[in-house]
Amino acid sequence: MALTVQGTSTAEVAKPQGAEKPRLAPAAKNVKLRSTLPETERAISIAFAEYGRKDVAFVSGEFGLKTFDVTDVDKPKLLDHLTKQEMALPGDDPSQRFWENEDINVDPVRKIAFLAREVNSFGRALPGDRPTGNYIVSAVDPADLKILTFHRQNTGHTTTCINDCQFLWTAGRDRSTANEGRIFVTDIRDPRNPKESPLGIDTRGIGKITHDVQVDAQGIAWVAGDDATRGYWTEGWHRDPLTGKFRKATALDPIPYAGGGVPQIDMPTRFTHNSFRPAGRTLHDGPRPTRENPAGSLLLHTEEAFGSSTCKDQGRFVISSLKGTENGEGWGATPKEMKTVGVWSPDDKEGTIPGDVTCSAHYFDVQKRIVAYSWYEQGTRFLDISNPAKPIQIGYWRPDAAISWAPYWHKGNAFVADLSRGVEIVSLTKGAYDAQDSGTNVQLVTNGPVKVQVGPGGGRERLPLVPHPDYGYACPMVAARGGDCGPGSVSCC
């Protein structure tokens, strides 16, 4: 699985005879591979929990849920596998993929994992029943995972812990007759008997969707989706900007904080996928505060879209200012637009492949002003955001046949969930930190072909991506090869 890049030039596109699509020559800069988590191909999301001195990674994927002891990242050990057979509901076909739990959450105190189930899991298709909702899994012993219950509800794309994992906010397409974008709220104080609120949060228009929720270090829950990213207080007493009154915020009745839309020139689709607000203990992870952009005033978020193979026109990373949206301006039928501070995409950057590839900003994670960022077939990029108006690339990791889905910083390393390759644990080299200190981009060099040495895991076949049958390319899927699961097969997506 090892990959060593000895050159510094931009990657070239190889076109072996008979291939459906061109093979993508691997490339990397200022990044080294530490180790891999075995048999994690089709990995989608990762979370971590401490068990005394034991460090455990939870890996969700099309295969179900796996736990690994990563106390020694150079020698990870599989602990348990919650299989598709164990997760299957009556009427499911366990031979088909579990989909998709795009942002796994784990309660670090009660040691409970939460997995969202999408409408087309296990090959479910119309006109049959297609259950969605959340699996609630006991991980008190990470080597013995047990399903406590499956809570069925009318969505199941992502699910997020709120108020110390006493509640879940679940996002996705509303499958009820209302068909309104909203957050579904579930009381999980008794995890075996979840109770769903009849009221939705962050209700958006008919046919709209909410996509994901991230909770910042001050406890504000940020809801991304169609038309806007908006933050809510879920605890404590605050002034409600929509009414002017002070009241108590709860997970069931939150209070608007700030947020809004993005100018269409910067985010053409107006669809935000996920977000991060540097504040409190994570303030040092984000851009350096200035008089113009004071502490807590910036929002980092993703536009997931596929208008360009290099993300030139769509699918970019946007940094927005929250100033001027603290009085409810981002709510209502036409949310106020936030001021754009900075935009970045792989377009015309070193390590970017020209031609017909899949590119969009997807999940990202931030540590010490460095963003680890997934861009599908354009790989994992590492950006210094010290200056939010001028993000710079200080490293990249784009191994053979990569489909970078989501990277996670953890104890100085980045765990990359790659849909094709599985989970790879990488770290930045001195060159990346030198580039950060000097404030200079990794330079584009064209003095010769990339020289790549690939180990036994190399020579992979490029996996084709197809649009999700319900979300389209707002949530692409890998089309399996062969049998009844060929490219474009809805039953296998």
Instruction: Give me the CATH number covering residue 340.
Output: 2.130.10.10
pLDDT at position 443, please? 66
Whether the CB-CB separation of 150 and 171 falls below 8 Å is answered with no
Residue 446 backbone dihedrals phi, psi, to 5 degrees: -130, 45
DSSP three-state, residue 123: helix
Is 350's pLDDT higher than 50?
Answer: yes
Residue 14 pLDDT class (50, 70, 90 cuts): very low
pLDDT at position 181, please? 92
Q: Express each pLDDT in 290-319 by its tens digit.
A: 999 999 999 999 999 999 999 999 999 999
In a domain? residue 341: yes
Please state, rounded to an integer, the average pLDDT across all residues of the chain: 89
Average pLDDT over residues 124-138: 95
Fill in the DSSP letter of residue 459: S
Is 461's pLDDT higher than 90?
Answer: no
Question: Which region among 119-133, 379-393, 469-483 has the lowest average model confidence (pLDDT)?
Answer: 469-483
CA-CA distance, 88 to 138, in Å (whole number)?
A: 17
CA-CA distance, 35 to 40, in Å (whole number)?
A: 12
Phi-psi region of 122 (alpha: psi -120 to 50; beta: other; left: phi over 0): left
Q: How many CA atoms lie within 13 A of 159 on its CB side?
A: 34
CA-CA distance, 5 to 97, in Å (whole number)?
A: 34
Q: Which residue has the higher pLDDT, 104 or 11?
A: 104
**Cα 15 to chain centroid, rounded:** 30
In a domain? residue 476: no
DSSP three-state, residue 121: helix
Average pLDDT over residues 63-85: 98
In a domain? residue 461: no
pLDDT at position 140, please? 98
**Cα distance between the two ends of the chain:** 27
Q: Which domain holds residue 72?
A: 24-445
In a domain? residue 11: no
pLDDT at position 21, please? 54
pLDDT at position 22, please? 53
Whether the CB-CB separation of 418 and 460 falls below 8 Å is answered with no
Question: Edge-to-edge, what's the strand order for the sheet holding 158-162?
Answer: 158-162, 167-171, 184-187, 195-196
pLDDT at position 482, please? 39
Name the pairing type of β-strands 23-24 and 27-29.
Answer: unpaired
- Pair of tokens at residue 25: 């020559």
Q: Which residue has the higher pLDDT, 70 or 466?
A: 70
Residue 478 pLDDT class (50, 70, 90 cuts): confident
Element holding 185 (H helix, E strand): strand 184-187
Residue 71, Cβ neighbours under 10 Å: how many? 16
In a domain? residue 330: yes
Is 450's pLDDT higher than 60?
Answer: no
Q: Express each pLDDT in 99-129 by its tens digit.
A: 999 999 999 999 999 999 999 999 999 999 9
- Pair of tokens at residue 256: 């608007």
**Longest Cα separation, the chain:** 68
In a domain? residue 127: yes
Q: What percent of the chain has pLDDT over 70?
A: 88
In a domain? residue 353: yes
Q: What domain count does the chain have?
A: 1
Residue 355 pLDDT class (50, 70, 90 cuts): confident
Is 6's pLDDT higher than 60?
Answer: no
pLDDT at position 4, please? 34
In a domain? residue 466: no
Q: Express each pLDDT in 251-273 by its tens digit.
A: 999 999 999 999 999 999 999 99
Average pLDDT over residues 425-432: 96
Is 485's pLDDT higher than 80?
Answer: no
Q: Express each pLDDT in 183-225 by its tens digit.
A: 999 999 999 999 999 999 999 999 999 999 999 999 999 999 9
